[in-house]
Chain A
Amino acid sequence: MKISLGPLQYFWRKSEVMDFYREAANWPVDVFYLGETVCSKRREMRLKDWLELGAILADQGREVVLSTLALVEAESELAALQRLVDNQRFAVEANDLSSVQLCRERGVPFVGGPTLNIYNHETLALLQRSGLTRLVLGVDQGAPQLEALQRQAQLAGHDFPELEIQGWGRLPLAYSARCFTARAHDVPKDDCGFCCLEYPDGLPVSTREGQPFLTLNGIQVQSTACGDLGPELNELAVLGVDIVRVAPQREGTGAVVQRFAEALSQGRTAPRHGDCNGYWHGGAGMAQISPTAISMQVPGA
């Protein structure tokens, strides 16, 4: 199983982004997803910058994929998407059907991102005919859905594409046209002052009794709880997951990648460090469900 580093979902200064990836280039990451997936107003990194960064990583033998916006509203965003699809070097992770369509129109193969709502084998096959080469499961999908997807695809005689799932990180739960970070600052989105720069890991909100709950990240809402499928790595392998994705955070991402890489190279699971795994087990996303695989944990590893 390979390890990917998902797209950076927060807004950092360009120098911080470059420092982060300079460091990440030393981690055992096989696939880098690069680009802005949340807000088109975030322009510290331009497409040109992502392409240059991608070239450096690719020259080191890493696979590079350019990720697209999950919500496309303005014509300017479509035009930017078109330039990204036309980059001619790197594959594209399509996170919206707008990007799927642009890829189709240009005959560019694409990775089906987690927000495409691919819930069954027939839709998967339809998108494979449009150029999908890899499926990233939706955040709410886990073992029960995947097992059914694999089984029915096999019965129908469909080829199964490469399969990826987020194994570590806060869960991206929702997208809106509204910027929640700007709302928390009581400023309009059109005059946001780029306030998400103040929150390199998003702006956490808790319930009125202090339970950490959601994290506001521009137009995206994430969980504050960190999803962790380290203890489930063996189950992932059994169900045919080819790539496990780690979502970048400001601190500690390298250690997570190392932990997953060591576990994978030794054919074992990684001990739990995160908070929840409910979606994988078919339950509420925030739940932490003790997996049977827990007995396979190697203490202290």
Chain B
Amino acid sequence: MARHVVAAVDDLPPGTRKFMTVDERPIAVFNINGEFFGLLNRCPHQGAALCEGPLIGLAQSSTPGEIEYTRLGEIIRCPWHGWEFDVRTGQSYCDPRRFRVKAYAAHVEAGASVVKGPYVAETLKVSVENDYVVVDL
């Protein structure tokens, strides 16, 4: 596993996502309310660019008509067939045992430590003054 520096924090404000290819894998990194998440941009169902789908909340219910809607923006819905996936874990909600999208841990590192390595900074210029989003892949 290598740690990849994929974006400067300032370039990925809350509510945005960034698409990239790392080690020949298409991934997307999301900033959801200041937390960062990496996800393979390929739906395990039929291969759609999953991460281009809308981010919604998690709808759950134990009583018909009464919906508990939580985790706003943490569920991504595939643009092709509407399947929901948990951005935190990659699990699907229609068939959690059989379908899961690969989720990658992402976090923020200070520029000073990023400069020291052992990170792979794909196409970014890294400077000690900035913070960076790092994805484990």
A joins B in a complex: no
The chain B residues found within 8 Å of chain A, CB to CB, are none
The chain A residues found within 8 Å of chain B, CB to CB, are none
